[in-house]
Amino acid sequence: MKNIIFITVVIVFVMVSCNPKNKQAETTNTLIMKNDSKMNSAQSSNASINEVVANYLKLKNNLVNDNSKEAANSGNALVTTIGKVDMNSISKEQMKDYMDIADDAKEHAEHIVSNGGDIAHQREHFVMLSKDVNDLIQLFGTNQKLYQDFCPMADDNKGAIWISETKEIKNPYFGSQMATCGSIKKEF
């Protein structure tokens, strides 16, 4: 009798543990955990990129206000923030693009820092920095409403974009000389 009960318990145990529904639930739970991990990674990279954008916007506003010294300070904060981006939060698919953009952005921000007394030179580097920040937003998205603005007269009349947090045009390329020159090209 004890053998029959023991065998019955073993059979029930084997049936329960080999049940395909349990395997499916286990697989589903594993997939959910992996997706949550990817979501947390994406949120983390987005948070890091949002900090980069915030420092870029401070720099932009200092150029709008013709404040070369504060633009250099904001550029320094931007360089620091780029250096602190959590690389583990960036997907393998995005890593190469991110590295190319970040290296270029850091170089332009460093030029802005080292030219604290030369706002014209800072604005030249801001043209390329703005393209880099635009590319970061394209790559990672944003949780903030942002605008891609365009000034046709910037960059020796070649035209240049910048990113803004307001609908109101405040031109960083000409500052107080032509504060409202430009238009919104895109909304993020």
pLDDT digits 0-9 by tens, 146-186? 999 999 999 999 999 999 999 999 999 999 999 999 999 99
pLDDT of residue 65: 98
Looking at per-residue pLDDT, the higher value among 2 and 150 belongs to 150
What CATH number does domain 45-187 carry, 1.10.3470, 1.20.120, 2.40.50, 1.10.3210?
1.20.120
State which H helix or E strand residue 151 sits in. Answer: strand 147-151
User: What does the block give as tokens for 54?
Assistant: 């915030």
Q: What is d(CA 42, CA 32) in angstroms, rounded to the nearest whole number?
A: 15
Question: Which phi and psi (to 5°) does residue 142 adopt?
Answer: -150, 150
Radius of gyration of the chain (CA): 26
Whether residue 15 is predicted with pLDDT greater than 80 in this model: the reply is no
State which H helix or E strand residue 142 sits in. Answer: none
Q: Is residue 129 within 8 Å of residue 105, measured between CB atoms?
A: yes
pLDDT of residue 48: 75
Q: Is residue 56 within 8 Å of residue 78, measured between CB atoms?
A: yes
**What does the domain layout of the chain look like in residue ranges?**
45-187
Q: Is residue 185 within 8 Å of residue 148, measured between CB atoms?
A: yes
Rounded to two decimals, what is the model's pTM?
A: 0.76
Q: Is residue 118 within 8 Å of residue 68, measured between CB atoms?
A: yes
pLDDT of residue 89: 87
Cβ-based burial of 179 (10 A; exposed 0-12, middle 13-18, buried ≥19): middle
Tens of pLDDT, residue by residue over 16-59, are: 555 555 445 444 444 444 444 444 444 545 667 899 999 999 99
Lowest-confidence segment of 38-47, 68-77, 99-108 by average pLDDT: 38-47
Looking at per-residue pLDDT, the higher value among 53 and 7 belongs to 53
Within 13 A of 72's CA, how many CA atoms are on the CB side?
A: 12
Q: What is d(CA 171, CA 188) in angstroms, rounded to the nearest whole number?
A: 18
Looking at per-residue pLDDT, the higher value among 128 and 11 belongs to 128
Provide the percentage of residues in the chain whose pLDDT is more than 90. Answer: 71
